[in-house]
């Protein structure tokens, strides 16, 4: 297998993977969606809420706010030495108190420790009018995407097979006439080969092929060459999300291998 990082910075990641199978990349995609842990607000105590929204709606919005996650510092609550009581090793607490006209943002949540300060601080929670207020306290814990969407770190990871465009060498005149109808800088001729300049615009080329019924041009996809892309919600950066997902997947393969050896 060959892996090349096209982009792995901030919240976005794009990888070129060769000499592999689609099922492996799909396993990585599903691991990111369902098994990758992150921190999210789980318990909400509302002391006062005179805003236009019900307590339940406020709690749901709080749960969906991406919180900074340190996979090395925290553990799952059920695995913690405190036995689920909620200690600094498994639980992060925030408080919120705001009154008067204005919007309550995610940044208004005050952490018990500044290291847990919310980075995405302009996510609106509720708009207050004059004399309205909201006072609450929350607890955040580790969870996985398979348990609830609020614990889903990676958004819509996807993969595409690398396309190859084949032309009928006996009908190159028709190919050249067809190219003249295409948007500028969509494709280019490299000898007798047709190459697309931006692979993300492949659907545009395919729509023209279908429209003109250009049977002298065929688009094929190579299942051994894959472009894998993903984006996090900001709770983890793309690099950490990828490394943790790979570690989780490797452990699952290892566990499967042990189970297979024990079969009689």
Structural domains of the chain sorted by starting position, each given as residue range(s) with its CATH number in brackets? 2-34+156-228 (3.30.1360.10), 37-151 (2.170.120.12)
| pLDDT value, residue 94 | 97
Query: Per residue in 214-243, pLDDT tens?
Result: 898 888 888 889 999 999 999 999 999 999
Q: Where are the beta strands (DSSP E) in 29-184?
A: 37-49, 92-99, 102-105, 110-111, 124-128, 133-144, 154-167
Query: Per residue in 162-193, pLDDT tens?
Result: 888 888 888 888 888 888 888 888 888 887 77
Cα gap 247→257, rounded to integer Å? 15
| pLDDT value, residue 264 | 63
Of residues 200 and 121, more confidence is placed in 121
> Which tokens sit at 171?
């009908």
Quote the mean pLDDT of the chain: 91
Check whether 152 has a pLDDT greater than 80: yes
The half-sphere exposure of 217 on its side-chain side, counting CA atoms within 13 A, is 27
């Amino acid at each position: 297998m060959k892996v090349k990082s096209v982009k792995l910075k901030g919240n976005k990641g794009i990888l070129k993977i060769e000499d592999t199978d689609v099922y492996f990349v799909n396993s990585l995609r599903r691991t990111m969606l369902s098994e990758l842990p992150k921190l999210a607000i789980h318990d909400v105590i509302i002391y006062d809420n005179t805003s236009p929204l019900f307590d339940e709606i406020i709690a749901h919005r709080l749960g969906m706010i991406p919180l900074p996650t340190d996979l090395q510092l925290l553990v799952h609550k059920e695995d913690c030495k405190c036995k689920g009581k909620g200690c600094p090793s498994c639980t992060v607490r925030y408080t919120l108190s705001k009154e008067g006209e204005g919007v309550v943002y995610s940044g208004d949540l005050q952490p018990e420790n500044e290291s847990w300060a919310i980075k995405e601080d302009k996510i609106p929670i509720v708009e207050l009018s004059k004399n309205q207020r909201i006072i609450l306290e929350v607890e955040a814990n580790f969870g996985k995407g398979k348990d609830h969407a609020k614990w889903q770190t990676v958004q819509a990871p996807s993969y595409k097979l690398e396309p190859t465009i084949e032309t009928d060498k006996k009908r190159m005149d028709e190919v050249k006439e067809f190219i003249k109808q295409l948007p500028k800088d969509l494709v280019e001729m490299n000898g007798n080969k047709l190459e697309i300049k931006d692979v993300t615009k492949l659907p545009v080329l395919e729509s023209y092929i279908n429209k003109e019924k250009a049977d002298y041009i065929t688009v094929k996809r190579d299942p051994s060459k894959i472009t894998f892309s993903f984006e996090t919600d900001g709770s983890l950066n793309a690099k950490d999300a990828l490394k943790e997902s790979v570690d989780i997947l490797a452990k699952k393969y290892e566990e499967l291998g042990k189970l297979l050896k024990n079969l009689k």
